[in-house]
Amino acid sequence: MRRDDPKPLVLCADDFALDAGVSDGIVRLARQGRLSATSVMTLSPRWPQDAAPLAELRGRVDVGLHLDWTSPFARAAGHGMPLAAAMRRALLKGFDRAAARAVIARQLDRFEAAWQAPPDHVDGHQHVQQFAGIRDALLGLLAERYPRQPPYLRVSRVLNGAGQAAGVKARIISALGASALARGADRRGLPRSDALLGVYDFAGDEDRYAKLMDGWLAAAPSGGLVMCHPASATDGGDGDDEIGAARQREYRYLASDRFAEALARAGRALVRGSSHYVSHYTRRR
pLDDT in tens, 155-169: 999 986 555 555 676
CATH homologous superfamily of 7-284 equals Glycoside hydrolase/deacetylase (3.20.20.370)
CA distance 125 to 191: 19
Domain ranges of the chain: 7-284
- What Å distances lie between residue 163 and 57, 167, 202, 244, 259, CA to CA? 31, 10, 13, 22, 17
pLDDT of 172: 85
What value does the mean pLDDT take over residues 38-54? Answer: 98
CA distance 223 to 7: 7
CA distance 50 to 27: 10
Sign of CA dihedral 239, 170, 271, 228: positive
CA distance 72 to 142: 25
* pLDDT tens per residue, range 211-249: 999 999 999 999 999 999 999 997 754 446 889 999 999
Q: What pTM, to 2 d.p., does this model score?
A: 0.93
Roughly how many angstroms between the first and final C-alpha of the chain, as a whole number?
19
